Each structure stands twice: as structure tokens, then as C-alpha cells.
Amino acid sequence: MQTEASPLVDKFQLTEDHDSVFPKGVPWVRYHGKYNDLSINIVCPGKDSSLGVDSVGTVSVSLLTYASVQALHPDIIINAGTAGGFKAKGACIGDVFLVSNVAFHDRRIPIPVFDLYGVGSRQAFYTPNLAKELNLKVGKLSTGDSLDMSPVDEAAILANDASVKDMEGAAVAYVADLLKVPAIFLKAVTDIIDGDKPTAEEFLQNLAAVCLALDQTVTQVVDFIVGKSFSEL
């Protein structure tokens, strides 16, 4: 979402790409520039052209990830965004989790092997030094296209052993895996799913403040990455 990206665009002094690398008509937004020795691109799914809301969810982020990798050939992807957290897994509002594993919780295909394809469990790129240096909470991420959590979703999220739940991560991981680009996932907790407040309300209430925490962590991650090889991360 745009709310998640704006402070980072300022911090890295990026400029918006008006002669887009993306096809005409898509709402995707790209900011780019140099930060220290790194060439940085921030891409956002943008606003749905009919409805005017942020293009959240797995379909939109898959397309954006695919098109961005094809156009920009990144060495690494950082999927930074907001998420719901489980207090039973130690999550608190404002925590930024470094994700160890991703999986889907709303793709149930009860046919042998198809069931595994549906869950789509994948490891994030392994960055033990990054986790230690930045003292980040590490946990698993479960992804689905709903902001709420139905009883069957809840069972799948439990099976995925998730600390955080979002609407994009596992789809980004699928595309990154398909195109063989290492991917790191940073998920900032806007709402406590197993708490007593309604998700949508808590999400909207905390969004702006939590995005600042997220962006601070993304900056620290980028600063940590500068000048290092993959094996040092």
C-alpha cells in the first residue's frame, strides 16, 4: 500500500518513474534512485483504477512482482508490508517480523500433492546475520486474500504455525521462486488477530504509526545489506 511506501521514498530520496517500465494502463507505481552504492526500486500495486482503493492481495502482487523482476532484474526482493500478528506467538502491535517461512492458508485442494501445492510452503532467503544484528523477531507468515479470518482459515494458519498473517507474502515468494530471485519478508504488526479488537478497526487505527516502524526497519535492513555478499546476510 502507498501508506507503507511513502516514508521510504522520502528517506531514500527516490523519484517516481513517469516513463513507466510497466505496460500502459496498469496502476503500478515505481520509485527509483541510488542509495549509497545500491540501486533501489520501490514498487507498489497502486490504486485500483475503477474503485480507487489500494490493489491489495495475491493476484495483484504476483503480477507486480513478475513484471518488476522482468523489467528491473533485482538481485534481491524485500517484501515489506503490514500484517496481523498472533499474541499467542509473541506478536505485539508495532513489531516487525523477519519471516522464516511463508505459506498460503486459503488454497485448500484435498487431492494428494495438490494439497501441498495449495499450501505453497516456502522458505524465505536465509539471513541469520541480519536477524541477529537487527535483533528482529523471527516467525512464519501465512498469506490469504481475506482481511478477516474464517474458522477454516484459522485451522490452516495454525497448521502453518504462523506468527503473522498477511495478504501478499506467499504470492511474492511463489513468483520469486519461479524467477529465482532471493526474497526477504519484513512484516509489521498492525493488529492482534487473537486479541479482542475488530481487525479492520485496529488495522486502520495503527496503520500510519506501524508503517513508520516498518520503514525504520527496512532502512536498517538496506543499510545492513550495502556492501555485503549474499553469504554474509
- Residues serving a catalytic function are 4, 191
The stretch near a second copy (CB under 8 A) out of 31-39, 44-52, 184-192, 216-224 is 44-52
- Does position 26 bind a second copy by CB under 8 A? yes
Closest approach, Cβ 123 to a second copy, in A, equals: 12
Closest approach, Cβ 215 to a second copy, in A, equals: 22
Among residues 93, 191, 103, which one has the least CA distance to residue 140?
103
Among residues 102, 77, 126, which one has the least CA distance to residue 230?
126
- Distances from the Cα of 87 to the Cα of 18, 163, 217, angstroms: 42, 8, 21
- Does position 108 bind a second copy by CB under 8 A? yes
Among residues 80, 70, 74, which one has the least CA distance to residue 22?
70
CA 40 from chain centre, in angstroms, equals 16
Closest approach, Cβ 72 to a second copy, in A, equals: 13
d(CA 212, CA 218): 10
- Does position 25 bind a second copy by CB under 8 A? yes
Backbone phi, psi, residue 180, to 5°: 60, 50
The stretch near a second copy (CB under 8 A) out of 8-16, 74-82, 99-107, 189-197 is 99-107
Taking CB under 8 A as the criterion, the residue among 18, 19, 23, 37 binding a second copy is: 23
Closest approach, Cβ 169 to a second copy, in A, equals: 12
Backbone phi, psi, residue 157, to 5°: -65, -40
The stretch near a second copy (CB under 8 A) out of 32-40, 83-91, 93-101, 169-177 is 169-177
